[in-house]
Structure 1
Amino acid sequence: MNHDDVIIATLQKEGKPLKSSEIAEIASTDKKEIEKSIKKLVAEGKIYSPKRCFYDLK
């Protein structure tokens, strides 16, 4: 499972906006890798930031 899939699965499971550090902690993954994937997913329109530093599914 790549980092994009991990982020999407974590957001679906939690059902609420999360910080990148929370996603990394829940997924037991490196925060820097999660942040790179988050930027890509936001650019692709798959996730968005409802408020500063939080991310959620569209």
Structure 2
Amino acid sequence: MDAKEKVLGIMKNAGKPVSAGEVEKLSGLDRKEVDKAFKELKKENAIVSPMRCKWEPAK
């Protein structure tokens, strides 16, 4: 499983919008890996931001 899949899975399991810092703590990934995964997921429209600095999987 790559970082992008892991980040998306954590977001789905959280059940609420999460920040990159929360994903970092829950996943054990390095912050740079989390930021890179967020950037790729945003580009693919796989995640959306319902509020500032919080993200959740797109529906």
* Structure-to-structure mapping, 1:5-44, within 5 angstroms: 5-44=5-44
What is the letter of the counterpart of residue 52 of structure 1? R
- Superposed displacement of residue 32, structure 1: 1.2
Alignment length, in residue pairs? Answer: 58
What is the letter of the counterpart of residue 47 of structure 2? I
- Superposed displacement of residue 52, structure 1: 1.4
1:50 aligned counterpart, secondary structure: strand
What is the letter of the counterpart of residue 51 of structure 1? M
Aligned-residue CA RMSD (Å): 0.8
What is the letter of the counterpart of residue 54 of structure 1? K
Query: 5+ unaligned residues in a row in structure 1: which ranges?
Result: none
Counterpart for residue 46 of structure 2: 46
CA deviation digits over 1:1-58, x for unaligned, max 9? 1111111110111111000010010001101110111011011110111111111011
What is the letter of the counterpart of residue 44 of structure 1? E
Q: Percent identity?
A: 29
**What CA distance in whole angstroms lies between the structure 1 residues aligned with 2:56 and 2:12?**
9
Query: 5+ unaligned residues in a row in structure 2: which ranges?
Result: none
**What CA distance in whole angstroms lies between the structure 1 residues aligned with 2:39 and 2:51?**
15
TM-score when scaled to structure 2?
Answer: 0.91
